[in-house]
Amino acid sequence: MRSRWGCAAVFADGALGSQTAWMLRPFENSDSNYGIAVTPLPEMHQSVQRALDNGLSVAIHAIGDRANREMLDLFEELRPAERNLRCRIEHCQHLDVQDLPRFARLGIVCSVQPCHQPADMQKVERFLGMERVRGTYAFRSLLQSGAVLAFGSDAPVEPMDMLPNIHAAVTRTRPDGTPPGGWMPQERLSVPEAVYGFTMGAAYASGEERLKGSLSPRKVADLVVLHEDIFTIDPKRIHEIQVDMTMVDGKVVYERK
């Protein structure tokens, strides 16, 4: 087994379902619940500064629009990209639309998990209201602003399977096809864009784009073989596709019987 130092991880806020995501405005069912700052800002500043000073990138869990804004403000002050440190915000679920262009401008990677979107659709409308939906799971808007999207599964919170994530990013629906046409369909991605998020986008986030992320000479052979071509089938079926084989560093570690 190979291992290496990756990055330091810090939590800025809670989650949408528990109404602990740190928001700019209160949740819809309360006049005073703005969520919580899990790590106080002075402590967050100190932790991130220490990591950067020691050559470590930082990944910050931020779900609410206030949490994301505060973390972008922090990165704007500390300028990790100028040190060639590739930092990221994990989740980026609920953003004020004014903050969308800041990820690209500051060189901060958006590490997102599309599988959360189908489960959160109704909660977003109930807890945040339709006015704040525009900045929620805004994958297309982030991509068009120049941000790098790195996809993940958030395992063990969600299953590790990438295919339901690609399905969610491309269709914006649940596995049963609801809602018809997708939720906020203007934020859908193409299949190549979604695959890129799981391959080159993820490799870029970890600083390994020269080592992995594409099938290229002198890169490690980390790959899967699927039993159908997800670039040509109906995208509604992507989550049903089976993995025939998995290779890690050129070695077969799984074969479907």
In the chain, domain spans: 7-213
Name the stretches of the chain with pLDDT < 70: 1-3
Three-class secondary structure of residue 150 per DSSP:
strand
Could you tell me whether strands 251-255 and 243-248 are parallel, antiparallel, or unpaired per DSSP bridges?
antiparallel
Token pair 């391959």: residue? 199
Tell which residue, 230, 207, 211, has the closest CA to residue 220.
211
Tell which residue, 112, 110, 128, has the closest CA to residue 16.
128
**Is the CATH code 3.20.20.140 the one for domain 7-213?**
yes
Type of residue numbered 169:
A
Residue 159, pLDDT score: 86
**Cβ contacts of 137 within 8 Å, gap of 6 or more:** 93, 112, 114, 116, 117, 120, 184, 187
Backbone φ, ψ for residue 221 (5° rounding): -90, 75
Whole-number Cα distances in Å, 61 to 44, 112, 119: 12, 10, 19
Residue 158, pLDDT score: 87
Structure tokens belonging to residue 190: 């193409």
Distance, in Å, from the CA atom of 10 to the CA atom of 141, rounded to the nearest integer, reads: 26
Residue 176, pLDDT score: 96
Token pair 């690609």: residue? 166
Residue 3, pLDDT score: 66
